[in-house]
Structure 1
Amino acid sequence: MDMREVDAPPQSDTVNFQTLEKMGYKNNSRGEWVFKVDSSEDSGGDKSAKVPPHSSTTHEQSSLSYTVWRESIDTSVESIDTHIGKIQDNIKKSQGSIDLYFRLPK
């Protein structure tokens, strides 16, 4: 069995069929669920047609988009943390100057 072939879920489970289709699988003429890239074996398929690599599935694109989004968020949080640290340092320096300026004479 090809790694990109899956066993079909029970016939009554249409949710699983929809999930398989969203993941990039299709039911070929032999009743097998195969990845759409491999469907050229199916009748009517064009064996010379260029197909995108396996990584172009909607699910994997969503995962990549999430990863990029998450990295962007992490970078923003790190930047904010750096700025907060600088602000805290400036407050400490300013507090020292304020204390010297308002020091009451003895």
Structure 2
Amino acid sequence: MSFGTNELIRKGMAEPVFSAEDLLFHLGINTECSKKSKLRGRGSNELKLTGNQKILFDLIELGEKNFDEICELTQLPVEVLNLHLTELEFSGLIKQLPGRIYTLS
């Protein structure tokens, strides 16, 4: 059974995670809509973004872009591009639509 994990939860050494929102909360990532609306319309200079994140945010801010367009325009390696797009998604700044199309949240 799950005696070990239940014991950790009982002792306060672990917390259960039932959804993606729970996980993001425990990682300290705010998922509230109010935070997203505050970020909308703010330039990348006002946000605390790394160099590559700033490039990606500014590009997506110009309009929806699919993954291949972003890859071609930025010339970033696919693994680097995936990393920074995921970070921007977790931060609530962008969202991925079907077809690997990215837009601002």
Highest CA radius of gyration, 1 or 2?
1
Q: TM-score range by the shorter chain?
A: under 0.3
TM-score under structure 1 normalisation? 0.19
TM-score calculated relative to the size of structure 2: 0.19
Looking at secondary structure, tell me which structure has more helix per residue: 1
Greater relative CO (CA pairs within 8 A, separation 6+): 2
